[in-house]
Structure 1
């Protein structure tokens, strides 16, 4: 028999873990595995704020896919359409042309993109924190504001440049605001004598009245206290109503002059989910407990783009879109896929939440491993230990540990690369969120690609 054709869409935690498990447990003659990913590396998203702060080098948080996958064919490109009827995936290659991949088993793990609300000016003037390029660009932009403000222009212009606003107080928003505020205040006065630390103002805006509610009330209150001590203003019960080149108007009517508005108000599943014709929940593909997609034989879904029942929660909820679930779902899906190929019964996915960690920079950290609340140095030890273990290679762990050590001993150089000197789209451009084919166009493209030249 010919080897089964397995196509995995997505080079994130879920997709890579699935491919690695398939490589270990299937012989080459049993299956031919392809992984479609627009990037050549597995990005460790939880450490992006530390790339933005300069504590970690960009290479340290991205592992080359070809270093961790030995027999899987890595297909560089974006999966922009799926047609389950003919079992084909349309891939837009990095060279620009499109091709169609046939599959016997399709694994959907396309992840998520930044949820861009219908806020005037957000696309043009907002910054995201979802890709390595965005983290590096944001760091460059923030340091550029200090550079320009050091020239002491007009009072209004300096206020705009030294006011920074983060919309969304989840993990990404809170960590990024905390570490970049620390960078700005460390640079002001010492490296930029013309800029006093008190001139730098960070604002963290959230719809609710709590930040990172998964931490619980006590640790959430501790996070608020740390942010307040650092001079970060928490604005509750509001969001962005309009973003301009010179500031942001909030839904409570307040206007904050700023040249830097970071948007971290949630994520949305990949638009690829709409092509299947499967049922969705808030845009996420509804999957069975064994990660298969109802009504679509040979199709599986996991990670941020899938609504997988949380069997360990016991409250009729779906698994949270976290790296923790994505990695474990990847390994479990591989196990179920192999069982299916061998004629065995797949098993339901069940994984208890092991807790969350938050690194606020320096010695400030919060952690809730197995429901135990930690803060300060013990929490920092747990947080960094967890991140090191979650990285996929020994080389990546060594690089991150080395970066942390050097940064802790030598501090930041506040070096600006120059990204902010060029016109670049901030959210949609980096994440290519508008490149997907309309669902009704997929059959036409598949037919055209299938026709001989």
Structure 2
């Protein structure tokens, strides 16, 4: 008898945890597990700001899937469409070859992309912080601005190169601004012509509070830390227009600036749009057991799914965080095992473990299990949490060693140049235009399956 195929879409927190749990709970004879992902690593997203700041090497946060998984078949590519009626996924391999793959059970964990808005110049000039390539690019770009500013005699050019804007007052934006500001401040010791006062960092958000999930006390503490370090934080403000050398804010200010880092939230993967399914603010609607009601044997979770938050009720859905995604992955695996054994499925219920925000150096705020911390104790909790959350001992060692090296030897200001010729627009690194329409998916599925 042919083994049922469980096909997992996405190798992030949700997809990896689901595959790991399935390997643990199912014998090889019970199911064939396949995972589709363009990269052979799980990106540890919370530490991307450390990569952008050069505190961690890119390899440190790229957790090897082949070290984490032992009998899951990893398909190098991306799912560009799903035909649930035929139980077929259309996959574009990294060679651009398009194939169709049947499944018995489908786990949709394609993650999210950077959310953007119809702001003039945004898609042309903004840089994201959602992928490893974007973090590496931003590091090179920021150091390039220092290099160029230190050699130009044009005061206007120098001013535009030394003003940096980060949009988004959530965890990603706040940590990105904090870590990169620390890098550029340290850099002035290596650039004799640059005065620290010349370098200006701006963090803006349309919300009235910085990281409201932290609560008023810790949120204000984080705000005070940033402002004490010279970061100008503007709340209730967004971007009105972006140019090659200027940024205009909604409050009327126009800044000379060549670096806009956009972290203003995420949107579900465009893959969700290829399915004829109900959505909640762009995320596919699922039950508390994470089943997609319209389709047989399809589960969805992570950033791309609107999973009911039973701990809050009143129609609330779980926020798109790594903590939720990892736990949902394990619950979906348990439910897949239950489905194979004809047992009842269990709902996902989240128990919050707290929040950690690493602001670089000795600065941090944390709220583990409801206890509010700041400074070195918060930093120890934050970094300890990240080490424990990484899925291989090699990754844990690399991250710990990088932190130790940076703490003792300081920062380097080296441009690798690997991505110097890349346009680096949001769609270039996040492949937002790679997906098929529903009709194209059906046609591809029928055509490719007919060929066998």
TM superposition score category, shorter chain reference:
over 0.9
Secondary structure of the 1:368 match is strand
- For the residues of structure 1 that align with 2:246 and 2:102, how far apart are their CA atoms? 49
- For the residues of structure 1 that align with 2:45 and 2:232, how far apart are their CA atoms? 25
1:420 Cα offset (Å): 6.0
What is residue 26 of structure 2 aligned with on the other side? 26
- For the residues of structure 2 that align with 1:432 and 1:209, how far apart are their CA atoms? 32
Q: TM-score, normalised by structure 1?
A: 0.98
Q: Does 1:13 align with 2:52?
A: no
- For the residues of structure 2 that align with 1:103 and 1:388, how far apart are their CA atoms? 35
What is residue 262 of structure 2 aligned with on the other side? 263
1:252 Cα offset (Å): 1.8
5 Å matches for 1:264-283? 264-283=263-282
What is residue 125 of structure 1 aligned with on the other side? 125
Q: TM-score, normalised by structure 2?
A: 0.98
- For the residues of structure 1 that align with 2:68 and 2:209, how far apart are their CA atoms? 39
Cα distance change on mapping 1:343 and 1:430 into 2, 3 Å = same
- For the residues of structure 1 that align with 2:86 and 2:422, how far apart are their CA atoms? 41
What is residue 247 of structure 2 aligned with on the other side? 248
What is residue 400 of structure 1 aligned with on the other side? 399
| Contact 1:141 1:420 survives alignment (8 Å) | no
Secondary structure of the 1:422 match is coil
1:421 Cα offset (Å): 3.5
- For the residues of structure 2 that align with 1:323 and 1:183, how far apart are their CA atoms? 26
What is residue 115 of structure 1 aligned with on the other side? 115
Secondary structure of the 2:92 match is strand
Secondary structure of the 2:354 match is coil
1:253 Cα offset (Å): 1.7
| Contact 2:210 2:235 survives alignment (8 Å) | no
- Structure 1 stretches of 4+ moved >6 Å: none
- For the residues of structure 2 that align with 1:276 and 1:147, how far apart are their CA atoms? 47
5 Å matches for 1:64-79? 64-79=64-79
Residues 138-175 of structure 1: CA deviation (Å, up to 9, x unaligned):
00000000001111331110010000001111111110
1:315 Cα offset (Å): 4.4
| Contact 2:3 2:31 survives alignment (8 Å) | yes
Cα distance change on mapping 1:73 and 1:266 into 2, 3 Å = same
Structural RMSD (CA): 1.1
- For the residues of structure 1 that align with 2:208 and 2:247, how far apart are their CA atoms? 20
1:304 Cα offset (Å): 0.4
Unpaired stretches in structure 2, ≥5 consecutive residues:
none
Secondary structure of the 2:204 match is strand
Secondary structure of the 1:356 match is strand
Q: Does 1:222 align with 2:221?
A: yes
- For the residues of structure 2 that align with 1:447 and 1:316, how far apart are their CA atoms? 38
Unpaired stretches in structure 1, ≥5 consecutive residues:
none
What is residue 60 of structure 1 aligned with on the other side? 60
- Which has the higher mean CA deviation after the structures are superposed, 418-427 or 443-452? 418-427
What is residue 173 of structure 1 aligned with on the other side? 173
